[in-house]
Structure 1
Amino acid sequence: RDGLLSVEFRKLGGKVGPGSGRPAKLYSPVVEEIGASVPERHYDLAGEVMASAIQNLMAKGGSPREVLLETAYARGREAGSAEPHFEDVLASYGYRPEPDDDGGYSLVNCPFHRLAESHTSVVCAMNGAFLSGAAAVCGIAEERIADDNREGHCCAKIRPAS
């Protein structure tokens, strides 16, 4: 129904003619890879950013942290240029932004949750750089990206406009 599998009817076992039975209903995937996560996660984005950062580091050298942040920032700018509003970028990457009482946004979901639990300083720094890059392209001051240490939330929050 969702177009993930194709269906084919075919006789199996080499028997033909009357008495050979009905053709079997066979399923095969339409796409090579299917991933689903509830709540929404984007480990593919984290892997892409980290692999690109490692590749840049190997080619040019430098500080691993700085190269990771530059790469994440650039990827955030790409994400921001694909969506008209910053809130749309947040929603499309699964952050689940919810307005705060102070005029900012809490990010109720972390798209990198499992990685952030075991590699907090690396993943949260990468996440902040990604969000800053997206914010910059969308015309949001990068200074509006702040730390959020509340349990069950993303490590970042969006401060209100000043």
Structure 2
Amino acid sequence: MSASGSAAPNALAALSNLDDPLRRRLYDFVAESDTPVSREQAAAAVDIGRTLAAYHLDKLADAELLTVSYQRPAGRGGPGAGRPAKLYTRATTEMSVSVPPRDYELLARLLVSSVEHDTSGVVRAAVNEAALDAGKRAAADAGGDLLAALRGCGYLPQIDADGRVDLRNCPFHRVARNHLEVVCGLNLRLVEGVIAGSGRSGARAELAPEPGRCCVVLHDAAPVTSDSRPA
């Protein structure tokens, strides 16, 4: 959701929940998780009590930053199984606030449309080169740390034991929905720039679209200089 006009106060109030350091740590933990998170898991992750974790998680859910579901523990059902556990996941709703109002998404759509209508290929080549350079700068700003650079770009990377990195978020999702080819190509070049800037010559990026994730995955990205979660 992009907030403007009368919607801005509501979005601003919701986003202000992340000003609280503890609440932000809980949100980051849930957002980085591949599966729904229980109150007990969240409490253990940030080293607080379950009751306090539940309070903050519910506040984040009230602000529509998290979504709630209920599930019984595996293997338990029927009478006496107890109440289903309350679980939390990152909301897919987008929120942004600009004061005074700005519409950067419109600008992005205009620029992407220009690429699509360029029959010469010159504009597309220039934009792809700019994306590559932006990735290299992101890696330099992160001190060559591949995952930190990807996090800084908004990709929410998660690495597995085989060195594959899944990008759990597309920073350009709203524009990508209607301009998939161009945006996926830009994502690929941007990630390739991050790889080049990090000096990880063995790593490679490829397009592998999956629902709910960025269209790019990385292979052979281990070893890394930080884990897959933000500090």
Higher relative CO (Cα under 8 Å, sequence separation at least 6) belongs to 1
Q: Does residue 80 of structure 1 match 2:159?
A: no
What SS does structure 2 have at the residue aligned with 1:110? coil
Aligned to 1:126: 186
Residue matched to 2:86: none
SS at match of 1:118: coil
Change (3 A) 1:143 1:161: closer
Deviates more, 1:68-77 or 1:101-110: 101-110
Which structure has the larger Rg?
1
Which residue in 1 is equivalent to 2:214?
154
1:70 corresponding residue in structure 2: 129
Partners of 1:117 and 1:131 in 2: CA distance: 19
Could you say if the C-alpha distance between residues 41 and 122 of structure 1 is closer, same or farther in structure 2, counting changes exceeding 3 Å? farther
How many angstroms apart in 2 are the aligned matches of 1:41 and 1:86?
27
- The 1:99/1:73 distance shift into structure 2, 3 A limit, reads same
Amino acid at match of 2:150: L
Q: Aligned pair in 2 of structure 1 residues 81, 161: CA closer, same or farther (>3 Å)? A: closer
| Percent identity of paired positions between Structure 1 and Structure 2 | 31
Deviation at 1:102, TM superposition (A): 3.0
**1:157 is paired with a residue of what secondary structure?**
strand
Say yes or no: does 1:135 pair with 2:195.
yes
Q: Shift in Å at residue 103 of structure 1?
A: 2.0
Which deviates more from structure 2 when the two are superposed, residues 100-109 or residues 118-127? 100-109
Paired position in structure 2 for 1:96? 156
Letter of the 1:145 counterpart: A
> For residue 107 of structure 1, what is the amino acid of its counterpart?
L
> Which residue of structure 2 lines up, in the alignment, with residue 32 of structure 1?
none
CA contact (8 A) 1:41 1:110 kept: no
More divergent stretch after superposition (80-89 vs 99-108): 99-108
- Which deviations, in whole Å up to 9, do the C-alpha atoms of 1:116-157 show, x marking residues without a partner? 111011111111111111110101238611112111110101
Q: Which amino acid aligns with 1:132?
A: E
Native 8 Å contact 1:41 1:112 kept in 2: no
Residue 171 of structure 2 corresponds to which residue in structure 1? 111
What per-residue deviation string (whole Å, max 9, x for no partner) do you get for residues 21-74 of structure 1?
A: xxxxxxxxxxxxxxxxx66899969x68x96xx8xxxxxx97111111111111
Q: Which has the higher helix share?
A: 2
Distance 2:142 2:208 in 1: 24
Distance 1:148 1:77 in 2: 22
Equivalent residues, number: 118
Which AA in structure 1 matches 2:191?
L
Distance 1:157 1:41 in 2: 25
Equivalent-residue separation in structure 1 for 2:121 and 2:197 (angstroms)? 26
Task: In structure 1, list runs of 5 or more residues that go unmatched.
Answer: 3-37, 55-60
> C-alpha distance in 1, partners of 2:217/2:149?
14
